[in-house]
Amino acid sequence: MTETIGTEATTDHGRLAGKVAVITGAGSGIGKVAAELFAAEGAAVVCADVAASAVEVVAATITAAGGRAVAAATDVTDEAQVAAMVAAAVDNFGGLHAIFNSAGIFPADDGGLLDTPLATWDTVMAVNLKGLWLCCRAAVPAMLDSGGGSVVNVASFVALMGAATAQVAYTASKGGVLAFTRELAVEYGRQGIRANSICPGPIDTPLLAELMSDPARRQRRLVHIPMGRLGRPEEIARAALFLASDESSFVTGSSLVVDGGITAAYVTPE
């Protein structure tokens, strides 16, 4: 179900002026911040999330600030719902120029090789990898019809390095995101579509809050971050804004690492 909110409002300035963007996972965390940022930068935004009431609030907030938004209740693992999400962009705003695939899960029982349940592995792959593929498969034809566009996919720094605090399904899914995004970039590079990944480090979002509520587990992770803190959702949203905008017009097939220096470190400061 899609709810149109405030489509009469217009924003004629900003780095995404005249663009239409879809953002998944827009009900909270990075996706929510990105939806508000993209709208402030001139985009008409489809705010998509499996949590219908949450994205309705986000879209209403954007509208109240003078932006344009629709809320689309979307389970990214459902092909029909994903198609409806993209149709919401075309039907309400006339096209599609960017998609920021921020939706993802990290279940508490996603652990090591021998103790991660099969059902958890399947669920993580369904959301984090299959869901992203479905979103791109639906979005690319609309982008081609709109003259081109930018795909921005959320991967993770764990796709680039291993960890003794295992999260095997999540890590594997995010490695798949990197490979898939490179393939997409090459396949559509001469048709006006760019595709890039963002590899965030640990970000202070609800997804990480429960894990980091244990002081010992929190310190176990912070010690490996050269900057000594978690990232903020707006820091990832700004990276996504750059990749979605024409400022990155010659950037495709890349993985933008935004991790506070984790992947650059061997020994961190005391």
User: Could you give all domains of the chain from N- to C-terminal order, each with its CATH number?
Assistant: 2-206+232-260 (3.40.50.720)
Q: What 3-state DSSP class applies to 68? A: strand
Q: Looking at this protein, which amino acid is placed at residue 261?
A: G
pLDDT of residue 211: 67
Q: Are strands 68-73 and 98-101 parallel, antiparallel or unpaired?
A: unpaired
What's the pTM value of the predicted model, to 2 decimals? Answer: 0.92
From CA 21, how far away is CA 96, in angstroms rounded? 6
| Choice among 170, 180, 236, 239 that is catalytic | 170
Which parts of the chain sit beneath pLDDT 50? 1-10
pLDDT of residue 13: 78
Residue 73 contacts residue 47 (beta carbons within 8 Å): no
pLDDT of residue 207: 66
Class of residue 95 by CB neighbours under 10 A (exposed 0-12, middle 13-18, buried 19+)? middle
pLDDT of residue 2: 40
Residue 38 contacts residue 16 (beta carbons within 8 Å): yes
266 is an active site residue = no
From CA 65, how far away is CA 94, in angstroms rounded? 22
Q: Which residue has the tokens 């097939």?
A: 253
From CA 209, how far away is CA 107, in angstroms rounded? 12
